[in-house]
Amino acid sequence: MTDKDVSKLIEKTPLLNKIKQNEEVFWKNTMRMPAEEATAETDYSKDDIRDAKERLERFAPFIELAYPETSDLKGIIESPVSEISEMKKYLDETLNEEVPGRLWLKRDDLLPISGTIKARGAIYEVLKHAETLALEHGYLKDTNEDYAVFASDRVKKFFSGFNITVGTTGNLGISVGTMGRQLGFDVTVHMSVEAKGWKKEYLKNIGVEVIEHDTDFSKAVEKGRAQSDADPKSYFVDDEHSVDLFLGYTVGGFRMKEQVEKAGIKVDSDHPLFVYLPCGIGGSPGGVTFGLKQAFGDNVHCFFAEPTKMPSMMIGLMTQQYDALSVFDFGLGGSTVADGLAVPRTSGLVSKIMQTFFSGGYTLKDEHFKALLSQLYTSEGIFLEPAAVAGIIGAHRLIQSKDGQSYIEENKLKDKMKQATHLAWATGGSMVPAKDREAFLFDAKNYSL
């Protein structure tokens, strides 16, 4: 896209100029529709989520065998929620805004097996591929069989003749690599320049072939896809276009209905739920949002959060150009501490679905990622990797921005905010090695909001 084209887009949507200047912004999505109408316009429904949920339940006996740490949940990959009242107190005082309602954290940093939100979509897609191959080649007669068979040497030997490939900034590769290798697959992970060293080492240590690139995420995906396409026995997990990844994430959002009820959190027309989701390419926040909307309808309001250097979803949705635009077209990009969100171009598949579901989004500078990481650890004793803290400041950004206040007014939420629940989705952190964790905390300790 030429500079002239970008100038025309900015003229049409002035907020894009602030984005181009690497400024923090809050954006209200005017394309959002009532949940029922938005769902009717997509190719997906509750039935697709239930199908994904049932597949994960079929695999539970295998997962419990392969990963004993999942035994408490009988092989279901799920995470808890916890209230972070001390962190909220800090934010209220520091930002001079007492946000009404309570602040909770969805602890996907504690997800078993791979410790990030990617354990949802990525592991789901690998399991679905394994199920398909097993059914095609007679290792499963039908889906009513005991899936503990996937833990057998016989099945693992069969899968060793097949490859799974993925391109990633890090966490997607960890989830694909961990489950792929557990099932016996040969796994290749193409890592972009943003990927942390410890993630590469982790994968190499479990027998994954890691191919390092000195290019960005999109190029790593492109190279991975080309290599996989050249091998008829290779399956490519496509972060940019995969429906299965998206549907795996939807289960996480859908399950929240039962979880908030157990936690005593009321969600209805008088008790709104606001959810703030870190966003890279968009698959995980998009899928979770779709699941949340099927669970709570219009009583849930979902906002995505991105680095100011890589606001690919925001640019794609604001311009309605989706994946046709890159952050590089706006002179943005470069390294960000939020490496898991370092994606220059959004998913066309997900952004086109999400244009009628997301309530809006906001961006954060690197120093604010660091400040949130440091303070969460100080106030709550919780360590998250930098990208995972993006949602924690969401409620304050909503309340303190002009677009956020407009959103509250337009949706007749002003008198309901005292009964609101704010939920930040923590996307990773528990797998970060101790020395890297200490380095993050040391680097972040002098930053403030």
Residue whose entry in the numeric block shows the structure tokens 């709104």: 272
> Would you list the domain boundaries of the chain?
3-45+67-114+245-444, 117-242
Q: Which residue has the tokens 């991975």?
A: 224
**pLDDT (0 to 100) of residue 82:** 97
Pairing mode, strands 102-107 and 186-191: unpaired
Per CATH, the number for 3-45+67-114+245-444 is 3.40.50.1100
Task: Fill in the amino acid letter for 304.
Answer: F
Asked if residue 353 lies in contact with residue 286, where contact means CB atoms within 8 angstroms, the answer is yes
Q: Is the pLDDT of residue 218 over 80?
A: no
Assess whether pLDDT exceeds 80 at residue 217. Answer: no
**What is d(CA 221, CA 119) in angstroms, rounded to the nearest whole number?**
19
Alpha carbons 181 and 26: distance in angstroms, whole number: 41
Q: What does the pLDDT read at residue 405?
A: 98
Instruction: Kindly indicate the confidence band of residue 2, based on its pLDDT and cuts at 50, 70 and 90.
Output: confident
3-class secondary structure, 266? coil
Which one is predicted more confidently, 170 or 70? 70
The predicted model gives 241-253 an average pLDDT of 97
Lowest mean pLDDT segment, chosen from 79-88, 102-111, 192-201, 335-344: 192-201
At CA 415, angle to CA 85 and CA 406, rounded to 5? 90
- For residue range 344-385, what is the model confidence (pLDDT) as tens digits? 999 999 999 999 999 999 999 999 999 999 999 999 999 999
448 φ/ψ sector (left φ>0, alpha ψ -120 to 50, else beta): beta
Distance CA 291, CA 172 (A): 20
Domain 117-242 in the same topology as domain 3-45+67-114+245-444: yes
- pLDDT score of 216: 74
Positive/negative CA dihedral, 349, 355, 358, 364? positive
- Paired strand residues for 304: 277, 361
The predicted structure's pLDDT at residue 170: 80
pTM of the model: 0.96
pLDDT of residue 332: 95
Greater pLDDT, 145 or 334: 145
The one-letter code for the residue type at 405 is Q
Token pair recorded at residue 446: 């002098």
At 209, is the pLDDT very low, low, confident or very high (cuts 50, 70, 90)?
Answer: very high
Provide the CATH topology of domain 117-242.
Answer: Rossmann fold (3.40.50)
Secondary structure element (H or E) that encloses residue 3, with its range: helix 3-12
pLDDT band at 287 (very low <50, low <70, confident <90, very high): very high
